[in-house]
Amino acid sequence: MRITDARVIVTCPGRNFVTLKLTTEDGVTGLGDATLNGRELAVASYLNDHLLPLLIGRDARRIEDTWHYFYKGAYWRRGPVTMSAIAAIDTALWDIKAKVAGVPLYQLLGGASRDAVLVYAHANGPDLDGAVRAVASSLDLGYKAIRVQCGIPGLSSTYGVPRGLQPYEPAEKGAPSEHRWSSEAYITFIPKLFERLRAEFGDELHLLHDVHHRLTPIEAARVGKSLEPYRLFWMEDPTPAELQEAFRLIRRHTVTPIAVGEVFNSIFDCQQLVQEQLVDYIRATVVHAGGITHLRKIAALAELYQVRTGCHGATDLSPVCMAASLHFGLSVHNFGIQEHMPHTAETDRVFPHEYTFQDGYMHPGEAPGLGVEIDEELAAEYPYDPAWLPVNRTVDGTVHSW
Ligand code: KDG
Ligand code: MG
């Protein structure tokens, strides 16, 4: 079953997405997400200029072989651009394989390990009252797990909190915006947020929080300790994870569970974190971590150490990635939770899909393959529109992790 056509579709139905569409000689098509927020065209070029010419004519059934052909064959390994491009090919091949078999993808991944996939919502408020209102709205929608971000007194903007009434979307048109950050202000404020949320909503709700890589290890340890009374489901990305051993220091001081890995692109990024049990959830996802094939290996390593999955699922991961993630999450035994940040209506129209949300859980549906397609005519009505992630500086002007 030869691959006869491979096309990269770049579209901006509200935000930019890069999608790979493969077609076989029998006319079966498969989709893969290749979106790398703020660096989209680098992946489109990597696919168009370097991988797709070698993909045409290959046997679509040889998923594992194709993965290694592009990973080892490049000589230059890993990195978000390479791994997103390989992920798109891998995901599209799994889509094709499942369509040919006539089954939803999760059936090829071992079948369902659970009835549905627990997802968490985003609730963002400019201040404590706003955060409480946002959590109440997510509860009304049926979510059982909610990530809460809140404006920090004294800081004009912060990660996760929209400036206006629009849903939060970090990539902005024009030049990158600049945020100002104070770890001191954040560390003082953040326990007050979760104290208030537990007082308002009780013990049952799963509460999550994203530190977004901003603290030093000892600051992160302090925050984890200060949040212990509020029993978070997880504290995410408390410190940048390039230095995996940094998490030893956090672990020595706090039992607040830790989630890490949305920027990871290979099993080597998380190897030490997992093997030393320095984290509880691994957030690597299909699009940025080499596709279904590689993510399954990360999950298998994690399973040995009782680390569970918690795949990234922000809006910059397209509905194609969300579908793939739901098939993965439904099937993998050590699933923990899946992030769910709903796409805009225009994005959902460009990517008609079978997955559903009900009562705090999602299901990928029973359509053969991934259960997501792209309306190419509609996609063409939304040309690429460059957008940038913000840059973060501390209050004295020093560039800091965003
Ligand atoms: O592109 C960057 C976003 O996906 C990221 O900032 C979102 O941290 C994020 C999250 O947890 O969803
Ligand atoms: Mg995050």
Q: Count the neighbouring beta carbons within 10 Å of the beta carbon of residue 379.
A: 19
Q: Of 75, 104, 133, which closes a domain?
A: 104
Asked whether residue 90 falls in the same domain as residue 156, the answer is: no
Q: From ligand 2's centre to the CA of 262, what distance in Å? A: 6
Angle at 90 between CA 87 and CA 92, to 5 degrees: 105
Percentage of residues in the chain having pLDDT higher than 90: 96
Domain boundary among 104, 122, 148: 104
Atom of ligand 1 nearest to the CA of 339: 12
Q: Mutate which of 148, 312, 318 to test ligand 1's pocket (most atoms within 8 Å of Cβ)? A: 312
* Ramachandran sector of residue 332 (left: φ over 0; alpha: ψ -120 to 50; beta: rest): beta
Does residue 394 belong to any structural domain of this protein? no
Residue 263 to residue 181: CA distance in whole angstroms:
21
CATH of the domain at 24: 3.30.390.10
Q: Is residue 301 part of a domain?
A: yes
**Single pTM value for the model:** 0.97
Say how far apart CA 90 and CA 84 lie, in whole Å.
Answer: 10
Residues in the chain predicted with pLDDT less than 50, given as ranges, are none
Structure tokens at 68: 């290694």
Active site residue 212: yes
**Domain assignment of residue 279, yes or no:** yes
Report whether residue 84 contacts ligand 1, using a CB cutoff of 6 Å: no
Mean pLDDT of the residues in the chain:
97
Q: What is the 317 CA–ligand 2 centroid distance (Å)? A: 12
Same domain (yes/no): 214, 295: yes
Q: Same structural domain for residues 354 and 255?
A: yes
Nearest CA to ligand 1 atom 5: 314
Measured CA to CA, the distance from residue 186 to residue 255 in angstroms comes to 20
* CATH number of the domain where residue 247 is located: 3.20.20.120
How far is residue 80's CA from residue 389's CA, in Å, rounded to a whole number? Answer: 15
For ligand 1, is residue 40 a contact (CB within 6 Å)?
Answer: no
In this structure, are 100 and 112 located in the same domain? no
| Shared-domain flag, residues 197 and 55 | no
Residues with beta carbon < 5 A to ion ligand 2?
A: 210, 262
Residue 402 domain-assigned? Answer: no
Q: Which of 207, 396, 236, 211 is nearest to 310 (CA)?
A: 236
Q: Residue 57: which domain range?
A: 3-104
- 262 and 237 Cβ atoms separated by less than 8 Å: yes
| Burial category of 203 from C-beta neighbours within 10 Å (exposed 0-12, middle 13-18, buried 19 and up) | exposed
253 is catalytic: no
Question: Residue 37 domain-assigned?
Answer: yes
Ligand 1 atom with least separation from CA of 159 = 6
Check whether residue 97 and residue 136 sit in a common domain: no
Give kind and range of the element (H or E) at residue 92.
helix 80-101
Atom of ligand 1 nearest to the CA of 212: 8
The confidence score (pLDDT) of residue 131 equals 97
Q: Is residue 160 within 6 Å of ligand 1 at its C-beta?
A: no
Nearest CA to ligand 1 atom 9: 314
What would the pLDDT profile of 288-306 be if each residue is shown by its tens digit? 999 999 999 999 999 999 9
Please tell me whether residues 248 and 348 are part of one structural domain: yes
Query: Does 45 share its domain with 155?
Result: no
Q: Is residue 395 part of a domain?
A: no
Domain membership of residue 373 (yes or no) is no
Same domain for 95 and 150, yes or no, is no
Domain final position from 61, 79, 104: 104
Q: How many domains does the chain have?
A: 2
Question: Is 383 among the domain residues?
Answer: no
DSSP characters for 161-193? --SSSSPP---BSSSPPEEEE-HHHHHHHHHHH
Q: Are residues 169 and 260 both part of a single domain?
A: yes
Same domain assignment for residues 210 and 72? no
Which residue type occupies 111? Answer: G
Q: What is the 3-class SS of 265-332, one letter each residue? A: CCHHHHHHHHHCCCCCEECCCCCCCCHHHHHHHHHHHHHHCCCEEEECCCCCCCHHHHHHHHHHHHHC
* Tokens standing for residue 277: 């049990």
The answer to whether residues 164 and 263 belong to one domain is yes
